[in-house]
Amino acid sequence: MRLKRMQPRLMMLAVVGMVCPLAHAAEHVTLRNGFELNCVRQEAVGNKIRLYLPQQNPAVDSASTDTSYLEVAADAIVRVETVADLPQPLAKTKTPASTPGDATPTQAEMHEMLAHAGAMHHVDTDLLASVMKAESGGHVRAVSRTGARGLMQLMPATASEMGVQDAFRPDQNIAGGTAYLDELLTRYRDNIALALAAYNAGPGAVDRYHGVPPYRETREYVAQVIREFNRRKQMTLVARAQ
């Protein structure tokens, strides 16, 4: 039995502290593994580089401190390009379909289902919650334009392979999505960026490009999940310190 996965090497917990105000100019960074992202600034920490991520919602959070970052080895960066401005977030394409009688779990029930599935597959609960938020925003009956369904947006074929009989049942959907993410993490040797990219665009695309595929939606999706994961871990640290 594999031990519970540690936090992926690409991700570090967000730190508590002040960071310089964000400027409009940003840098587009390409990593050796093919992952690309925008950052607002870099900071050398020993033999590693911290790439600070932009605020997810500057209009709302302009007065807040953005402390989310990725930390990578210095030699993992192969190219840095200056960009004039950060791109706007992609418009949401997944919309919830309301159906009378749908039972939406409470926050506590949702957490319990995520924790149970995470324990079964040795996947961090906060990572699962971050994926679910990016996929469906917590909408039980979310359906994407490509036909992905439920909380973790399972395609019908994937749901069937994972033993999910009803993708709109929260417990089944979470169990199936977790099992699928576990398979991807195993396939890519716990490389979180590749596993998330495969979850979003399919493992075929990741294998074809030998890394995160050059799809804007996929790259922003990977960064979004990592940013949310960092935020959740930061909140846990703060709660423990109180």
Tokens 């935020």, located at residue: 231
Q: Are the C-beta atoms of 39 and 27 separated by less than 8 Å? A: yes
The Cα–Cα gap between 29 and 78 comes to: 8
Q: Are the C-beta atoms of 149 and 142 separated by less than 8 Å? A: yes
The Cα–Cα gap between 180 and 152 comes to: 10
Residues in the chain: 242
Q: Environment class of residue 224 by beta-carbon count within 10 Å: exposed (0-12), middle (13-18) or buried (19+)?
A: buried
* Structure token pair of residue 56: 């997810």
* Structure token pair of residue 112: 């319990």
* Structure token pair of residue 164: 């999910």
- Confidence at residue 21, expressed as pLDDT on a 0 to 100 scale: 32
Q: Are the C-beta atoms of 52 and 29 separated by less than 8 Å? A: no
User: What does the DSSP 8-state code read for residue 8?
Assistant: P
DSSP lists the bridge partners of residue 28 as 38, 81
- Confidence at residue 85, expressed as pLDDT on a 0 to 100 scale: 52
Among residues 71, 109, 135, 228, which one is catalytic?
135
Residue 183 annotated in active site = no
Q: Are the C-beta atoms of 18 and 65 separated by less than 8 Å? A: yes
The Cα–Cα gap between 181 and 198 comes to: 9
Domains and CATH numbers, the chain: 95-241 (1.10.530.10)
- Confidence at residue 15, expressed as pLDDT on a 0 to 100 scale: 30
The Cα–Cα gap between 77 and 79 comes to: 6
Closest CA to 21 of 54, 48, 59, 69: 54
Over the chain (242 residues), the average pLDDT of each successive run of 10 is 44 32 58 71 83 56 48 81 56 43 79 96 96 95 92 96 96 97 96 96 96 95 94 84 72
The Cα–Cα gap between 133 and 138 comes to: 6
* Structure token pair of residue 198: 């495969």
- Confidence at residue 86, expressed as pLDDT on a 0 to 100 scale: 46
